[in-house]
Amino acid sequence: MSEALQSLLDLLDLERIEEDIYRGDSRCAVVPRVFGGQVAAQALVAAGRTVPADRHAHSLHAYFLRPGDPGAPIVYDVDRLRDGRSFTTRRVVAVQHGKPIFGLSASFQTYEDGLDHQAPMPPAPDPATLPTGEERLRSYPHLPAETVERFLEARAAVDLRYVDDPPFGDYGTPREPHSQVWFRTNGKLTDDPLLHVVLATYVSDMTLLDSVLLAHGRGGWAVGDVVGASLDHAMWFHRPFRADEWLLYDQQSPSASGGRGLGQARIHTHDGRLAISVIQEGVVRVPRER
């Protein structure tokens, strides 16, 4: 296991400070605030620790309310909304400096047999044929060295490989609002199903709005031609998967308007099983010229 992955696992390992109340550390991401995927992943950890082990997360719905302060811990307050015969529902509020910064609802279910069908996996090159994230980032001479290092540090726990150029790599000309990324953790994980769902939740917030930027030829936060932040995030976990094995994140944007952009995606396992569906809306604003 890489040192960066162990550091991420430590970050997601919350401290229990009271019944249904947990505390997590925070750290700065690419932008000077807490990475949204970290808060979502930590909130899911808090919810999962109040649920029986035989019930697995099948969905989450979340709102980002305020920017997180990377210099202060985050307290997660879990509300046990329902414990049914098949489903368990939890609500989590993340608090900093006495104010809620994030709210999550998550549902867990015992295993059941049932109807089974899925959308086919889209075509994509094998991840082994693609440049690593570091190779691709260092190939763009227009990116400042400090920006590259910030990205590499923020994503060091994950092997993330773009199929085509990301928005910050080749911008200026609008493209189809479609982006594909292969990802897996940089090291093996334990068999705990919740851990794999939590890691996928963490990664899911890294690139989902890329397709919005592609549609308008914008490079994004890395080059400063837009200002953005996640607003809400929803995920459905359809089938078992491992976050330490290759997953294809196929993303597209059906709409952008009113200073907001919508991204939607499907995540498939390397052998073609549809594992996760994701939808996110975020603020995407073009800075005004002074």
CA 229 – CA 236 distance, rounded (Å):
21
Residue 196 tokens read as: 């794999």
pLDDT band for position 31 (50/70/90)?
low
At 82 the pLDDT is 96
Which position among 96, 180, 230, 253 bears the catalytic label? Answer: 230
Contact 97, 69 (CB under 8 A): yes
At 241 the pLDDT is 98
Percent of the chain whose predicted confidence (pLDDT) is above 90: 82
* pLDDT score of 219 more than 90: no
What is the pLDDT averaged over residues 96-113?
97
* pLDDT score of 32 more than 90: no
Residue with the bigger pLDDT between 287 and 128: it is: 128
Whether 230 is catalytic is: yes
Residue 25 CB burial class (10 angstroms; 0-12, 13-18, ≥19): middle
CA 120 – CA 112 distance, rounded (Å):
23
Contact 89, 81 (CB under 8 A): yes
pLDDT band for position 152 (50/70/90)?
confident
Which position among 107, 204, 252, 280 bears the catalytic label? Answer: 280
At 18 the pLDDT is 96
Whether 205 is catalytic is: yes
Q: Which amino acid is at 172?
A: G
Whether 253 is catalytic is: no
First vs last Cα of the chain: how many Å apart? 48
Which position among 205, 210, 244, 250 bears the catalytic label? Answer: 205
* pLDDT score of 170 more than 60: yes
Q: Is 282 helix (H, G, I), strand (E, B) or coil?
A: strand
Angle among Cα 243, 247, 78 to the nearest 5 degrees reads: 45
Residue 137 tokens read as: 């980032």
CA 267 – CA 230 distance, rounded (Å):
19
* pLDDT score of 290 more than 90: no
* pLDDT score of 289 more than 70: no
Domain 3-110+127-285 has CATH 2.40.160.210: yes
Residue 40 tokens read as: 């979502």
